[in-house]
Amino acid sequence: MEALDNRPAGGDSSPAGRPRVPIGEYAFAGVTAAVGVYVLVAAAFIRVPVSSTSLGPKAFPYLVGALLLVAALAVLVGIRRGRLGEAEDGEDVDSSVPTDWLTVGKLLAFFIAHAYLVGLIGWPLAATVLFAGAAWTLGAAKLWRTILIGLALSLAIQFLFGSLLGLSLPAGPLLDWIPFL
């Protein structure tokens, strides 16, 4: 005789037989709603000239904020109806393995170093440190190759965004003498 599955559709039960509380889904809906409210409030402070007769710069943020609130409401309704997110069945995901906090710490340290180094050595070299450090942390075989690739990518991005698009990426004292950077 087959055992009946009394779990609610779309959800799973805890070992004690009680349905689990979908904390992650509620947190996602809450953060989405909070961002939507923030966008709407921030859009209200955008200055628009009195002579402006077109839609103006407030229209898009108001639209985005409203859509975020609608999306958060839709997620909440879905949660209440029992439609919960499913666990990812990725081929390389092993949920039984604990988080490698040393790797997370190294990556965080390289991001913080990048933010600090931009002002000291410029964006291209700081991005090279970030790229090479992240590649090394994640197991790159040859560090010298990742440094060269990181340098080539950061110089290309510096040229593209700094020179062609006119955005301000500081070249830094070591590369400030190069005219196209």
Q: Kindly state whether residue 94 falls inside one of the protein's structural domains.
A: no
Q: What is the pTM of this model?
A: 0.51
pLDDT at 47: 85
Within-domain flag for 57: yes
Give yes or no: residues 161 and 131 share one domain: yes
Which residues touch 162 (CB under 8 Å, ≥6 apart)?
168, 169, 171, 181
Residues 115 and 76 in one domain: no
Task: Name, in order, each residue with C-beta under 8 angstroms of 61's C-beta and a sequence gap of 6 or more.
Answer: 39, 40, 42, 43, 46
Q: Are residues 71 and 121 in the same domain?
A: no
Q: Domain range spanning residue 148?
A: 101-165
Per DSSP, the residues of 96-117 read TSPP-HHHHHHHHHHHHHHHHH
Beta strands in the chain (DSSP E): none
11: in domain: no
Residues 161, 117, single domain; the answer is: yes
Q: What is the mean pLDDT of each run of 10 residues along the chain (181 residues)?
A: 46 55 86 96 86 76 94 93 72 72 94 91 90 92 91 88 74 66 51
Number of domains comprising the chain: 2
Query: What is the per-residue pLDDT for 173?
Result: 74
Q: Is residue 5 part of a domain?
A: no
Question: What's residue 113's pLDDT?
Answer: 95
| Residues 161 and 167: beta-carbon distance below 8 Å | yes
Q: Residue 9 falls within a domain, yes or no?
A: no
